[in-house]
Structure formats: C-alpha cells, structure tokens
C-alpha cells in the first residue's frame, strides 16, 4: 500500500466514523420519540466526555468493518446487510446482554437497541461502498449453495450446532484466567460492577454465543480470501467491537480493571475466530497429486 492509498483509506475511515456518529444522533432521536427510557449513567462517568470519547473512536469502529469488507464478496446491498448486522449484534446487542448481569446500574437495553441500529445500518452502508472487495464473486444465493455443498449434510449437522455454542467454553476459560485479577471488584460491586451467579450467566451466554455465530456466518459464507486472512481479520474485528473500544471509553473504570479484561477479550475473540474457521469456513480443495512409475 502506497502513502497515497494509506491517506485515502484513512480519509475513508474518518468519513465512515462521521457517518456512525451522525447515526447515533439520529438513532437517539428515534429512541426518544418512542419514549424508551434513557440508560442510567454509571457512577464516576462524565456523559459529555463519554460522547467525546465515542466520537473519537468511531474511525476504529469503521476499521473493524473495513478489514472485513475488503474480503467480503457480493453486491452492495448484500455486503451492507452483512456488515450492518455484524456491527449491531457484536457491538450493541452483545454488550447490552452482558451488561444486564455484570453491572449494578440500569442499562437501558431497548434504548441502546434502537439507538445503535441506525448507525450500524449507516456505517455498514458507508463501509460497503467505500471499501469494495477486489473480487465480488457470485451473489448470496449462489455462494451459499456452493458453500454448503462443500460438506456432507451429516457434517453440517454437528458443525453448525457446535459453532453456535463454542463461544461458551471459550468465554469461561479466559474468564477464569482473568478472575483472580478482577473478581474482587465484582464481588464488592465496585465501579458499578456486579458478580452474576452461574444461573444468570448460562442463559445469557448461550444467547450471546448463538447470536455471535449468526452474525459471523454470513461473513464466513461470502468470504473470498484465504482462511488465514479470515482468521486474522475476523478476530481483529471481534476484538475491536466486543470490548477494546468499550475499554478505551470506559474511563470511569480504573486501568487495573480495564487492562486484564482487554487481554481477556483479545484472547477469547481470536480463539473464537479460529474455532469458527476450523468448524465452518470454506474447505480448500487439495491439490491433486499425480504419481508416475518409472
């Protein structure tokens, strides 16, 4: 990539970030129009600074979508739908679901659902338009048929259910690893945190795992680059949207809480991306070998 191309892409990311910020304003107006309750502000959080931090990080949100968009086949509408759905589920729905059990303040679930639907759609469309793929490939239906024809029905019968729940054990493993560093703050309900019971965690985690798989599946189907590229790009996008950006803007949480969680999210999202690639990514045909007897 040349310096000129780099600057052009940076400009595109900034533009997509602006589109997202405008979408948040529009979405917030829609949520207020329907009378949805505004979420409670966490103790120690400055709402004005939080808006500033969110605006400053919008190019990172665009980058998370752009790395996917470059390898995503299909037409403009297909890619817009895939990117928007991925953004909304991973960045908003996932976070709000988790917040219902790990925080002591009201999260304004439906307010967030409506507010961030507009920026997800708008930024998805902007990224799909400004970061087109090198190869569009075939349409969604034709690509889907070819994708599922790569394996026998019996293989999909176990691979898809496993992919739908594989996030659960990954979450538990890395959560247990970070627990010695952050668990006490949850037990004491410090910084607006709460310690959920296993009965609270399991159903929410199951829903999150299924939603993650549904958000990633269209990307896996329409991906037209290598599986290795899919692993790195999907892992990066998940890391950014699931937690890294939230850890950046959650300045009311001390660094000794945010840093371990950032490492936890980095690990579990890349492991999760790798699991999806192994389970349901496109199977590359082996090169035929011809043996000759002398």
Residue-range domain boundaries for the chain: 3-280
Placement of tokens 């052009």 in the chain = 8
* Model confidence band, residue 189 (pLDDT cutoffs 50, 70, 90): confident
Say if residues 143 and 222 touch (Cβ distance below 8 Å): yes
So what's the pLDDT on residue 283? Answer: 60
Neighbouring CB atoms inside 10 A of 48's CB total: 8
Say if residues 23 and 123 touch (Cβ distance below 8 Å): yes
Q: Would you say the C-alpha torsion 249, 251, 253, 255 has a positive or negative sign?
A: positive
> Which whole-number Å values give the CA distances from 132 to 15, 69, 223, in the listed order?
15, 7, 13
So what's the pLDDT on residue 293? Answer: 37
CA angle 112, 163, 230 (to 5 degrees): 80
Q: pLDDT tens digit string along 55-64? A: 899 999 999 9
Give me the percent of the chain exceeding a pLDDT of 90.
Answer: 65
Mean pLDDT of 8-25: 95
Rounded Cα gap, residues 219 and 238, in angstroms: 12
Higher-scoring residue by pLDDT: 96, 79:
79
Collapsed DSSP state (helix, strand, coil) of residue 195: coil
Say if residues 21 and 62 touch (Cβ distance below 8 Å): no
Lowest mean pLDDT segment, chosen from 40-54, 79-93, 173-187: 40-54
Give the dihedral of Cα atoms 211, 165, 262, 216; nearest 10 deg: -40
So what's the pLDDT on residue 18? Answer: 96
Contacts of 211 (CB under 8 A, 6+ apart): 89, 93, 94, 97
Mean pLDDT of 159-164: 97
So what's the pLDDT on residue 53? Answer: 85
So what's the pLDDT on residue 287? Answer: 40
Q: Average pLDDT over the chain, rounded to whole?
A: 89
Q: pLDDT tens digit string along 130-161? A: 999 988 888 899 999 999 999 999 999 999 99
Higher-scoring residue by pLDDT: 245, 282:
245
Placement of tokens 């290795």 in the chain = 228
């Amino acid at each position: 990539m040349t310096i000129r191309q780099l600057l052009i892409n940076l400009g595109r990311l900034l533009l997509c970030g602006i589109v997202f910020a405008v979408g948040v304003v529009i979405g917030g107006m829609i949520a207020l129009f329907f009378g949805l309750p505004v979420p409670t502000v966490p103790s120690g959080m400055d709402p004005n600074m939080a808006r500033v931090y969110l605006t400053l990080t919008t190019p990172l949100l665009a980058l998370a979508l752009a790395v996917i968009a470059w390898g995503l086949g299909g037409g403009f509408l297909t890619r817009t739908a895939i990117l928007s759905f991925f953004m909304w589920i991973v960045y908003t729905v996932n976070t709000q679901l988790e917040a219902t059990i790990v925080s002591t303040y009201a999260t304004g679930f439906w307010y967030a659902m409506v507010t961030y639907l507009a920026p997800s759609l708008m930024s998805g469309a902007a990224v799909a338009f400004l970061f087109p793929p090198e190869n569009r490939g075939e349409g969604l239906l034709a690509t889907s048929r070819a994708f599922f024809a790569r394996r026998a029905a019996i293989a999909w019968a176990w691979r898809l259910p496993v992919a739908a729940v594989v996030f659960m054990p990954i979450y538990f493993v890395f959560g247990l690893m970070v627990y010695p560093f952050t668990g006490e703050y949850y037990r004491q309900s410090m910084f607006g945190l709460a310690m959920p019971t296993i009965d609270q965690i399991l159903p929410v985690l199951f829903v999150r795992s299924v939603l993650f798989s549904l958000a990633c599946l269209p990307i896996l189907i329409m991906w037209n680059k290598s599986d290795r590229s899919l692993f790195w790009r999907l892992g990066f996008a998940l890391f950014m949207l699931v937690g890294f950006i939230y850890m950046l803007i959650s300045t009311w949480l001390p660094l000794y809480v945010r840093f371990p969680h950032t490492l936890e999210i980095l690990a579990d999202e890349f492991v999760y991306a790798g699991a999806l690639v192994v389970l349901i990514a496109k199977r590359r045909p082996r090169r035929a070998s011809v043996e000759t007897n002398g």
